[in-house]
């Protein structure tokens, strides 16, 4: 992925704690990249990535995220579960709802159920 971003040209380096994360240097317009539009990359803080890895969700499991926020952890958990099983995301804030385009980019529509309120 570092090589693919370098072609854009966007400089990135591995994150210190999230094994799958990359830190993008400077502030490029990632949302305009084909990699982003196709769902190959997603913007997410390192803490959410680390937490998703610690949970260790597996295929076919049921996972509930009670602090879903904008949906970054939910999308990461869905990817770890390979979009199988059941993944429920709740947040106390109605405005903290992942956009359907974000979920569909990551192919998470089938696994992410998100009611309006927790």
pLDDT digits (tens, 9 = 90+) for 9-57: 999 999 999 988 999 999 999 999 998 888 888 888 898 889 999 999 9
Q: Is residue 60 part of a domain?
A: yes
* Residue-level pLDDT at 39: 81
Residue 117: pLDDT over 70: no
In a domain, residue 82? The reply is yes
CA distances from 80 to 5, 13, 55, 59, 94 (A): 23, 22, 10, 7, 26
Are 52 and 73 a contacting pair, CB within 8 Å? yes
Q: Which residue is listed with tokens 């869905």?
A: 78
In a domain, 36, yes or no: yes
pLDDT at 73 (0 to 100): 85
Containing structural domain, residue 82: 2-113
If one counts the domains in the chain, the total is 1
For residue 15, tell me if it sits in a domain. Answer: yes
Q: Looking at the domain assignment, is residue 118 inside a domain? A: no
């Amino acid at each position: 992925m570092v090589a693919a971003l370098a072609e854009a040209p966007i400089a990135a380096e591995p994150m210190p704690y999230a094994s799958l994360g990359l830190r993008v240097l400077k502030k490029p317009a990632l949302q305009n990249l084909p990699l982003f539009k196709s769902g190959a990359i997603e913007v997410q803080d390192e803490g959410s990535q680390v937490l998703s890895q610690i949970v260790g969700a597996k295929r076919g499991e049921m996972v509930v995220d009670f602090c879903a926020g904008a949906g970054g952890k939910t999308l990461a958990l869905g990817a770890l579960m390979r979009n199988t099983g059941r993944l429920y995301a709740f947040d106390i804030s109605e405005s903290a709802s992942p956009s359907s385009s974000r979920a569909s980019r990551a192919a998470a529509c089938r696994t992410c159920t998100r009611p309006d309120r927790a």
